[in-house]
Structure 1
Amino acid sequence: MRNMSITGNVGQDPTSRQVGNNQVADFSIAVRRNRPNRDGNYGADWVRCSVFGKRSNTVMKYFHRGDNVAVSGQWSINRWTDNRGKDQFGLELNVNDFDLPHRQRQSNQQSDHSQGDPFAGSGDQIDVTDDQLPF
């Protein structure tokens, strides 16, 4: 099986389409290259992604242009001829699983604040007796 996992940024807001009885969300991800080019800039490779079924609703609701996402699924190479007659190739991913790392951090930060951070304060000294220490 040809599976892969990638992390990158959503290129544009997802679009929705109907395929038979399935709802499909389509979007692309820019994956930053590891090495800079001669000009010192890091390029990106683009991966076209599709999510089928009920999970496409989640993608439509929560994925937005620029969001950092992690996706995994089955990949394939798509080949086509552009309007100039030149052969083009592109990587496509049928997404089985996805995550929004930045949303996870935000929700963790919100839950941490709701429970009260014992180390966050106004900088005032905290009075603690020896009996309150666990050691």
Structure 2
Amino acid sequence: MLNRVILIGRLTRDPELKYTPSGVAITNFTLAVDRPYTNDRGDREADFIPVIVWRQLAEICAEYLKKGRLTAVEGRIQVRNYENAEGKRVYVTEVIADNVRFLESNRQESGQSEGRNRDPFSDDGKPIDINDDDLPF
């Protein structure tokens, strides 16, 4: 049997870090993952998938991930249930992540760029200084 999922999407809000009574870190966030098609009006739809991360990775995610950040999550799907205050059985489906990749750097997120990652066209129409030796022809 196999229970494995890989998702790439954007965080819908900042991660929430908590600790269990025994001191184990747990972070949860929701990942918005685009569907591969558009609806009848031509709009792209998304699924909003809850993600749970444990221990040291939970602390790292809470520190570095922010709302809107493009992120890859690898883990397993878990379905749990409980009885709510009205006595109804509630089912919750979530991803328990064991690997999280930050697909955008903080620099990209904040709009800053330096060195070799600098956008040469960021001057918005101003002339670009190009040496004749740089041209291939």
By how many angstroms is 1:124 displaced?
Answer: 1.6
Structure 2 residue corresponding to 1:122, chosen from 102, 126, 129: 129
Query: Aligned to 1:22, which of 17, 24, 33?
Result: 24
Segment drifting more, 77-86 vs 47-56: 77-86
Shift of 1:40: 1.1
Gaps of 5+ in 2: 119-127
Distance 1:9 1:103 in 2: 13
Q: Which residue does the alignment assign to 1:65?
A: 67
Q: TM-score, normalised by structure 2?
A: 0.71
Q: Residue 90 and residue 105 in structure 1: after superposition, are their counterparts in 2 closer, same or farther (change >3 A)?
A: farther
Matching residue within 69, 76, 79 for 2:78: 76
Unaligned segments of structure 1, at least 5 residues: 115-120, 128-135
Which letter maps to 2:105?
R
Q: Which residue of 1 aligns with 2:121?
A: none
Of structures 1 and 2, the larger Rg is shown by: 1
**Cα distance 1:113–1:6, how it changes in 2: closer, same or farther (>3 A)?**
closer
Count of matched residue pairs = 120
* Percent of residue pairs bearing the same amino acid type: 19
Q: 2:116 aligns with which of 112, 116, 127?
A: 112
**Taking structure 1 as the reference length, what is the TM-score of the superposition?**
0.72
